[in-house]
């Protein structure tokens, strides 16, 4: 097998509509929170329900939101909501954890979205948000080469609906504006990203040797990892914990 990366495509028969192994990375962060069984969790943009199923398997009380509810396949409440709109007032409950995996880059106003999510949290609640890591080495190289960020090519606009690039420094700004803090930042592995530079001989010479040899050593910031994961908590709750 060597360095071959196994890509998870489904979980218990439900399609995983996310970047390679992103669900596992998210679950690893959630497991570290030590939330009790029965904790209320809201899964935004749930798709068929693969991640909701993982949460249920951890004994959480899960609710889902999916723009196309006919896609969702689990027997739990699933709300048909447009996350571009005001949605916090559509729920009677408050949540210990809200999960938004590969959602924010599809939305028109990330500040509005984060604000709506934070207003749905219980005391000591967490918000977990993921988005493509635009500061990765390959995204920087693609921008120098093509003038377009990785995952925000014209193809991604039409096929995936990626409309809003989010850098980590932007997420930090948004959280400050909303009186919240990123308490943990993580990134998925990037072994599969090599293929996105091309595999022809000319690609190897131009990209993998020229760009990587010259540019990679001088890059700063979050240059590794395909997807960025942000665990967010309101400042008021952080202050309460410090007392």
Quick check: 1 pLDDT over 50? no
Q: What is the pLDDT of residues 55-103, one digit of tens each?
A: 999 999 999 999 988 999 999 999 999 999 999 999 999 999 999 999 9
- pTM value is 0.87
Instruction: Identify the pLDDT of residue 241.
Output: 52
Q: What is the pLDDT of residues 177-212, one digit of tens each?
A: 999 999 999 998 765 555 666 666 566 556 666 666
Quick check: 146 pLDDT over 90? no
Domains of the chain: 10-242 (3.40.50.150)
Average model confidence (pLDDT) across the chain: 88
Task: Give the residue-averaged pLDDT of 13-40.
Answer: 93
Instruction: Identify the pLDDT of residue 204.
Output: 58
Quick check: 110 pLDDT over 70? yes
Q: Percent of the chain, pLDDT > 90?
A: 66
Quick check: 237 pLDDT over 80? no
Rounded Cα–Cα distance for residues 33 and 53 (Å): 18
Of 50 and 199, the one with more pLDDT:
50
């Amino acid at each position: 097998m060597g360095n071959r990366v196994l890509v998870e495509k489904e979980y218990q028969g439900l399609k995983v509509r996310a970047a390679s192994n992103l669900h596992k990375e998210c679950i690893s962060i959630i497991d570290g929170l030590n939330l009790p069984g029965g904790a209320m969790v809201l899964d935004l943009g749930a798709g068929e329900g693969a991640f909701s199923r993982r949460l249920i398997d951890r004994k959480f009380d899960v609710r889902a939101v999916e723009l196309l509810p006919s896609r969702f396949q689990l027997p739990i409440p699933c709300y048909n909501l447009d996350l571009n709109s005001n949605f916090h007032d559509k729920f009677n409950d408050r949540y210990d954890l809200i999960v938004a995996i590969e959602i924010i880059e599809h939305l028109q106003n990330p500040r509005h979205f984060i604000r709506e999510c934070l207003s749905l949290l219980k005391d000591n609640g967490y918000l977990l948000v993921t988005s493509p890591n635009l500061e990765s080495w390959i995204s920087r190289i693609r921008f120098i080469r093509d003038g377009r960020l990785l995952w925000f090519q014209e193809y991604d606009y039409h096929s995936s609906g990626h409309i809003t690039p989010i850098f980590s420094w932007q997420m930090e700004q948004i959280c400050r504006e909303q009186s919240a803090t990123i308490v943990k930042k993580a990134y998925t592995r990037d072994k599969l990203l090599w293929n996105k530079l091309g595999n022809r001989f000319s690609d190897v010479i131009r990209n993998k040797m020229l760009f990587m040899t010259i540019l990679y050593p001088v890059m700063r910031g979050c240059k590794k990892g395909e997807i960025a994961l942000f665990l967010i908590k309101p400042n008021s709750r952080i202050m309460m914990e410090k007392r």
